[in-house]
């Protein structure tokens, strides 16, 4: 399956979202890393253009930045890439466990590894919403709550299509 097909299905088709649990882990990782790269690139561009201030700078830090010069940009990009990767994969792992709990509550059959794949593909819309809400500073207080609800909603919709437990 091509990435644009996965992307469209992740947004509109919960049945296919549940079927993505059978994708090879390499395909899922590549799909997630597309979003990590997008997330990092947007964040880095905002940092370079001065649109987003990452932290308050003390006079000593500003002086050190002048000494380092252009090296600050590759360091900032790598740091943002590591942080974005950690954030997204940690989020997927946590919501994978939430998905397993939903499977147990709805008496569906599934393992963590399958739900992790579903949670990884289901992160599509929450990441896009996070990127959009990042441009509106007034929404930063509750954006994580909103995107978490969206993520759980997509996982719950997909969990309905997991096989039922046989008694």
Q: What is the pLDDT of residues 122-149, one digit of tens each?
A: 999 999 998 888 888 777 778 889 999 9
Query: pLDDT-derived band of residue 13, with 50, 70 and 90 as boundaries?
Result: confident
Question: In this structure, is residue 143 part of a structural domain?
Answer: yes
Question: In this structure, is residue 106 part of a structural domain?
Answer: yes
**pTM of the complete model:** 0.84
- Residue 52: its pLDDT value, please? 59
The answer to whether residue 49 scores a pLDDT higher than 90 is no
- Say which residue, 114 or 73, is predicted with more confidence: 114
Domain carrying residue 144: 3-159
Question: In this structure, is residue 165 part of a structural domain?
Answer: no
Two tokens, residue 47: 């940092």
- Residue 66: its pLDDT value, please? 73
Assess contact for 163 and 108: CB atoms under 8 A.
yes
- Residue 58: its pLDDT value, please? 66
Instruction: Please give the tally of structural domains in the chain.
Output: 1
Q: Mean pLDDT across the chain, nearest whole number?
A: 85
Residue range 97-117: mean pLDDT, rounded: 92
Question: In this structure, is residue 164 part of a structural domain?
Answer: no
Question: In this structure, is residue 24 part of a structural domain?
Answer: yes
Assess contact for 85 and 37: CB atoms under 8 A.
no
């Amino acid at each position: 399956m091509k990435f644009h097909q996965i992307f469209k299905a992740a947004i509109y088709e919960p049945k296919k979202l549940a079927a993505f649990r059978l994708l090879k882990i390499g395909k899922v990782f590549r799909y997630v890393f597309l979003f990590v790269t997008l997330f990092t690139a947007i964040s880095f561009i905002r940092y370079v253009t001065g649109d987003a201030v990452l932290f308050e700078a003390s006079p000593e830090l500003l002086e050190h930045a002048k000494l380092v010069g252009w090296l600050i940009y590759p360091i900032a990009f790598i740091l943002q890439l590591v942080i974005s990767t950690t954030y997204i994969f940690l989020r997927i792992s946590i919501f994978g466990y939430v998905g397993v709990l939903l499977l147990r509550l709805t008496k569906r059959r599934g393992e963590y590894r399958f739900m992790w794949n579903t949670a990884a593909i289901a992160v599509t819309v929450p990441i896009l919403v996070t990127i959009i809400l990042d441009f509106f500073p007034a929404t930063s207080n509750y954006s994580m709550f909103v995107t978490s609800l969206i993520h759980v909603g997509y996982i719950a919709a997909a969990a309905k299509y997991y096989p039922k437990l046989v008694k």
